[in-house]
Structure 1
Amino acid sequence: MAERYRLETAIGRGGMGEVWRASDDVLGRQVAVKLLLGGDSVEQAAARFRLEAQTAARLHHPHVVTVFDFGSWDNRFYLVMELVEGVSLAQSLAAEGRFSPQRVADVAAQAAAGLAAAHRQGVVHRDIKPGNLMQDGHGTVKIGDFGIARFVDDASAALTSAGQIVGTSLYLAPERALGRPAGPESDVYALGCVLYHLLVGEPPFQADTAAGVLHLHVDVPPSPPSVRCPQLPGAFEEYLLQMLAKKPEDRPSAQAVADWFGSAAWGAGTPPMPGPRAPAAVATYALPPTSVWPAATAPTPAPSRGRRRTAARADASIHVRIRTQMRRHKMLTIVVAGITAFVAAVLISSAWSSGGSGSQQPDAGPSQPADTPSASPSTTPSAAPAAAPPQNHGKDGKDGKKQDEGGGN
């Protein structure tokens, strides 16, 4: 084609075109050639295809796929690009499963550096997703497919009809879901969604319809990725959630992301506790945790967290025993006080009853022996008339006479 590029093998196909491995016979190198597919809106597609070539040609960076040439052949537009000997992150994810935090941090630093270079040139990619991030055999990540990119200072470059949202809904920033223009912060949000997907194995938001996904992007905070990736360092999670902030102004710049993940800062901190952090120990240890993820995929708690739970349960058990003993001591005190009061009342009542019955006795003299001082003749006559009835005087007199007579004998 064009007496220069010789197509060899088809290596990909998208909504706008198909990509071929080809040879550049002039320069003697392997290249990738993207051919525009025919369709109903050929003019609009051609304009977007041309814009992709112009946009990518402004960018020269190790983490951006380089564009070499643009032209038409056999009534079809073509784009000649750098050939990346590798696969997309979407293909790696499908073949290998989710990535380790170390590998994701490496991808983040490289992809963010490529985005920062584009943003410095006033270019917003608008379609960052795993399928548009290529990684070669040496681990180098390159951003490709600037087909729907736009220049920040040129609103007409969007090339979309009124009210149309372009991009992939799984990685679409909230402001774009609301129909607002895309900015550099929109690319940072999309990259955050990609990193989340690589760590967890799923995007942060999924629904049955694209409209449902857009609603989640706008109104629902993402679940902490540590729920599904328990080995994730705490600093990594906090920074990733900052990239997924709902407001564009709350997100870091692409250059800040590249610098942060390029340092050792992402590995700081211990893995955070899975699920929402409870405000009190009772809510954390006494109640079973609730997770929005399936039970089969819930992470196994680390030993250190298990020891903390055991210590908390032991502390709670000690507190329960102390409270039980305090309640028993209180009840015992009440019972003893009640018994003491009851005994005191009985003693007072008995003393009162004894005093009252002694004052009512007629005479205590006859029960005492005759030779005791209390039974002397001086006390008996004076007490007898007051305590004894009149008929007893004669009898007492007779007894006394007999006693005198007996004494005289």
Structure 2
Amino acid sequence: MAKPATLNATVALVRKSQLVAEDELRGFLRRAKPRQLVDLTPACLLQQMVAAGLLTPFQADQLQNGRYQGFRLGNYQIRDRIGRGGMGQIYLADHLGLDRQVAIKVLRPAADAAPLARERFLREAYAAAKLSHPNIVTVYDVNAEAEPPYIVMEYIEGVSLQAAVARYGAFAAEEAAECGRQIAMGLQHAFEAGLVHRDIKPANVLIDRRGTAKILDLGIVHIIGECLTQEFNPDVILGTVEYLAPEQAYSSRIDTRADIYGLGATLYFLLAGHPPFPDGDVRTKILMLYSAEPVPLTRLRPDVPPGLAAVVHRMLAKNPDDRYQTPAEAMAALVPWANPVAFPDRIFGPVAATVSNEGSQTVTVAAMYLQPTPLEHPTPVPRRTITDAGTVELCRDGTAPFPACELTLRTQLDHATAEAALSGARANPNFNRLERGLRLACWSAVGFIVLAVGVFALVRLLAHRP
């Protein structure tokens, strides 16, 4: 679409979008001085409408680029785009009749053309609609007949576990246990409804400002009793490889114990700052699911109670029979280590008026991101670059049938960690000898330069004597 080149074209585009009521638009134009309007560019006019509260920055940006359609989905008006992924985009919207904000997940046209994508998208809505639990994101509505189809969900003002760890490091032991306890409660409700999530991971769990954990993204949920070979290609692995239960890599016959493994891998991430097997390509990671054990948490975090570490490692058992058999059992095992009183006070600061834009991130969640406060750990966990391949579809030979969504969160090593590393280096005798040698070399170089300047000045002086 062509960008509006004149003020008249811009006003006409606003009218076509139906984002601003006609009387409000006329009042805005009437209050503006004619001379100011003559000097304005289309972009400046839209920014003034944002300042007046008539448009949101997202709406103004779309209009500036000539896009005036797609702001209305049924009874909902789009305000902002708050997430995107391989299958869909997520928008913040207002219900025009109920004065309620919601999150709307819209299937992307490119994904709609992919085999089974539309079916999986709608399965998420129908599966979530069967559930009603404080620890699972609520689905309000679905429109399967719309083009493209969309799902209307509860809007969560919070942060994903993936984003929280990537920004500010690992969780305290009691905070991780409390998160795990709540996730297990949600999984138990799904288990009782006959559902297996199959993709429990930090990016699929949100924490709101009250400290409530919310499970989302049921797009690849398995309904117990249905034949997966009739639903999906049996040669395709569904899940995220870093959080995949070993049995998911070779069999489509899974149960709630696969979600318990995902919960264990998520808790490992919260405590260690990375998944159980963070290194290597896809084939290597799948091989390690069968042949390797993750580094013990107590070695990475000596401050983590051994009892809590044992609970997490039991969830990560290779054999499903060696794990907790239901989410309720896992929840009971986490209770002694959970501290809901201290959570989430140490993660969230005061209510933020704006969204923090610190760092670079592409997030696939229906959530606003508030500024968490740094955690205080006896053993700091360095910041690291984390790349999560999202919900990955892999053929059993390790190849991907089509590109998967990528989620990249970048953070920087904080000043305190750098200072701690430098202090540790200075305690090393070799470092001290090296430091003394460098200082001696620097002073020698300075002395040589001073001597050379003196000799040069003396030669010049002698050359000019009669």
TM-score class, shorter-chain normalisation, is: 0.5 to 0.7
Q: Which residue of 1 aligns with 2:444?
A: none
Stretch deviating more after TM superposition (177-186 or 77-86)? 177-186
Q: Number of residue pairs matched? A: 269
Structure 1 Cα separation of the partners of residues 230 and 271 of structure 2:
31
Task: Answer yes or no: is the 8 Å Cα contact 1:235–1:265 preserved in 2.
Answer: no
Structure 1 Cα separation of the partners of residues 121 and 239 of structure 2:
15
Structure 1: which 5+ runs fail to align?
A: 267-295, 301-409
Structure 2 Cα separation of the partners of residues 26 and 114 of structure 1:
31
Task: Return the letter of the residue paired with 1:14.
Answer: G
The reply to whether residue 9 of structure 1 matches residue 80 of structure 2 is yes
Task: Answer yes or no: is the 8 Å Cα contact 1:175–1:182 preserved in 2.
Answer: yes
Task: Return the letter of the residue paired with 1:126.
Answer: R
Tell me the alpha carbon deviations over residues 339-366 of structure 1, each in whole angstroms, 9 at most, x when there is no partner. Answer: xxxxxxxxxxxxxxxxxxxxxxxxxxxx
Quickly say closer, same or farther: Cα 1:76–1:109, change in 2 above 3 A: same
The reply to whether residue 165 of structure 1 matches residue 232 of structure 2 is no
Task: Answer yes or no: is the 8 Å Cα contact 2:201–2:243 preserved in 1.
Answer: yes
Task: Answer yes or no: is the 8 Å Cα contact 1:148–1:158 preserved in 2.
Answer: no
Structure 1 residue 101: deviation in Å? 0.3
Moved over 3 A (4+): 40-43, 156-159, 263-266
Structure 2 Cα separation of the partners of residues 174 and 120 of structure 1:
23
Q: Which residue of 2 aligns with 1:57?
A: 129
The reply to whether residue 130 of structure 1 matches residue 226 of structure 2 is no
Tell me the alpha carbon deviations over residues 62-100 of structure 1, each in whole angstroms, 9 at most, x when there is no partner. Answer: 000000000057610100000010111111111111111
Q: Which residue of 2 aligns with 1:223?
A: 295
Q: Secondary structure at the match of 1:166?
A: strand
Task: Answer yes or no: is the 8 Å Cα contact 2:198–2:259 preserved in 1.
Answer: yes
Task: Answer yes or no: is the 8 Å Cα contact 1:177–1:218 preserved in 2.
Answer: no
Structure 2 Cα separation of the partners of residues 209 and 172 of structure 1:
14
Structure 1 Cα separation of the partners of residues 147 and 338 of structure 2:
52
Q: Secondary structure at the match of 1:179?
A: coil
Structure 1 Cα separation of the partners of residues 213 and 260 of structure 2:
16
User: Quick check: which one's helix share is greater?
Assistant: 1
Structure 1 residue 258: deviation in Å? 1.5
Query: In the TM superposition, what are the counterparts of 1:362-381 in structure 2 within 5 Å?
Result: none
Tell me the alpha carbon deviations over residues 133-162 of structure 1, each in whole angstroms, 9 at most, x when there is no partner. Answer: 001111110000001111011124883223
2:257 is aligned, of 167, 181, 185, to 185
Q: Secondary structure at the match of 1:134?
A: strand
Q: Which residue of 1 aligns with 2:223?
A: 151
Q: Which residue of 1 aligns with 2:316?
A: 244
Structure 2 Cα separation of the partners of residues 233 and 102 of structure 1:
9
Is the radius of gyration larger for structure 1 or structure 2? 1
Task: Answer yes or no: is the 8 Å Cα contact 1:37–1:76 preserved in 2.
Answer: yes
Structure 2 Cα separation of the partners of residues 72 and 172 of structure 1:
30
Structure 1 Cα separation of the partners of residues 188 and 153 of structure 2:
20
Task: Return the letter of the residue paired with 2:85.
Answer: G
Q: Which residue of 2 aligns with 1:338?
A: none
- Identity among equivalent positions (%) equals 37
TM-score, normalised by the number of residues in structure 1: 0.63
Q: Secondary structure at the match of 2:109?
A: coil
1:87 is aligned, of 153, 159, 184, to 159
Task: Answer yes or no: is the 8 Å Cα contact 1:196–1:225 preserved in 2.
Answer: yes
Q: Which residue of 2 aligns with 1:261?
A: 334
Structure 1 Cα separation of the partners of residues 167 and 90 of structure 2:
21
